[in-house]
Amino acid sequence: AAFLAGEIGFLDIVDYVAQVLDEHLSGKFAATGGGWLPGNEVSLENVIASDTWARDRAREIARGARR
């Protein structure tokens, strides 16, 4: 949405996805209390929680980069 709105560049998408993935794999997502992590059961609930967290975190990163 931020790219389509002209708020971030196309090439920024890769950096934001990489940062979100790094945070997820480092355990930052686990500290928020849920979702899929290695070793957890793969369930629709955990996939949705992970997706929601990742989208929200990417928005936060994009907002911070625009400041």
**pLDDT score for 17:** 94
Local structure of residue 33 (DSSP, 8 states): T
- Residue 6 in any domain: the answer is no
Q: Is the pTM of this model over 0.75?
A: no
Q: How many domains does the chain fold into?
A: 1
- For 4, the token pair is 């389509």
Q: What is the pLDDT of residues 38-53, one digit of tens each?
A: 566 778 888 888 888 8
**pLDDT score for 64:** 85
Q: What is the pLDDT of residues 12-37, one digit of tens each?
A: 999 999 999 888 878 776 666 555 56
Domain containing 22 equals 12-66
**pLDDT score for 36:** 54
Local structure of residue 8 (DSSP, 8 states): S
Amino acid sitting at position 18: A
- Residue 45 in any domain: the answer is yes
Measured from the Cβ of residue 8, the count of other Cβ atoms closer than 10 Å reads 20
- Residue 30 in any domain: the answer is yes
- Residue 52 in any domain: the answer is yes
